[in-house]
């Protein structure tokens, strides 16, 4: 899996919290991870001010540069990835109901998908203790405000595209589609709705790649 670098966010004014339920769950995890309220406020301000560069997201990790004053800091974030059994279980949960892959492509994370994943032993949404951050600044505790800024902007990415969350957990958009295609091809009876969803998802992946290429 190769990292995908998302374009830098422009400054946001008048509040910049996530709007979706899963985005807000990520925000709560960031709040749990923050050591002090002042670090949380400082990091959120940096995020709103557009101080974070393009965020590169890969399996279990994300990293970005954060500019503050005349200094630039390099921050990395780590999230525990699912093991092989967890990945297989998650793929099965997505394939269990037609419309789920289409919802993901449309930027939605069905609540039932997360619930059924949890029933299968798969935790998608992280807890604060799972968010590990490192920065080359001299802040005495992690996550530092620069890391909080990156984590806060990751909430915006997850808010807009749940596949960012899946990638951080170890299952990229491309791998999910490939495994679903393999399952469909191996099935005795092909689900036409699932095939249509996969076709739509693949076209969406192509458009996303083109947009990211233009943004570089």
| Model pLDDT, residue 175 | 92
Q: Where are the domains of the chain?
A: 16-80+127-171, 82-125+174-211
pLDDT under 70 in the chain at which residues?
Answer: 1, 14-16, 183-216
Going by C-alpha positions, the residue among 166, 148, 150 that lies closest to residue 158 is: 166
| Model pLDDT, residue 179 | 87
| Model pLDDT, residue 18 | 84
Mapping DSSP to helix (H, G, I), strand (E, B) and coil, where does residue 11 land?
coil
* pTM score, whole prediction: 0.84
Going by C-alpha positions, the residue among 2, 144, 119 that lies closest to residue 152 is: 144
What is each CA distance from 37 to 16, 144, 213, in whole angstroms? 17, 11, 38
| Model pLDDT, residue 87 | 95
Going by C-alpha positions, the residue among 48, 76, 77, 56 that lies closest to residue 7 is: 56
| Model pLDDT, residue 190 | 47
**Exposure string (b/e) for 77-113, b if CB count within 10 Å is 16 or more?**
bebbebeeebbebbbbbbbeeeebbbbbbeeebbeeb
| Model pLDDT, residue 92 | 92
Per-residue pLDDT tens over the stretch 91-116: 999 988 888 988 998 999 999 999 99
Give CA–CA dist 120/124, Å, rounded.
11
Per-residue pLDDT tens over the stretch 147-159: 999 999 999 999 9
């Amino acid at each position: 899996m190769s990292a995908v670098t998302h374009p830098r966010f422009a400054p946001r004014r008048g509040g910049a919290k996530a709007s979706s339920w899963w985005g807000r769950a990520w925000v709560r995890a960031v709040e749990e991870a923050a050591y002090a309220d002042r670090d949380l406020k400082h990091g959120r301000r940096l995020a709103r001010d557009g101080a974070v560069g393009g965020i590169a997201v890969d399996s279990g990790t994300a990293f970005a540069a954060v500019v503050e004053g005349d200094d630039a800091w390099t921050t990395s974030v780590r999230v525990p990835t699912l093991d092989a059994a967890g990945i297989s279980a998650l793929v099965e949960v997505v394939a269990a109901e037609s419309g789920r892959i289409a919802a993901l492509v449309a930027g939605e994370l069905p609540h039932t998908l997360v619930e059924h994943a949890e029933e299968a032993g798969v935790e998608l949404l992280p807890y604060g203790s799972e968010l590990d951050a490192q920065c080359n600044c001299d802040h005495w505790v992690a996550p530092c405000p620069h890391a909080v800024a990156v984590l806060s902007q990751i909430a915006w990415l997850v808010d807009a595209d749940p596949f960012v969350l899946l990638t951080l957990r170890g299952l990229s958009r491309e791998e999910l589609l490939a495994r679903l295609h393999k399952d469909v091809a191996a099935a005795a009876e092909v689900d036409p709705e699932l095939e249509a969803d996969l076709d739509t998802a693949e076209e969406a992946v192509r458009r996303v790649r083109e947009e990211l290429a233009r943004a570089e």
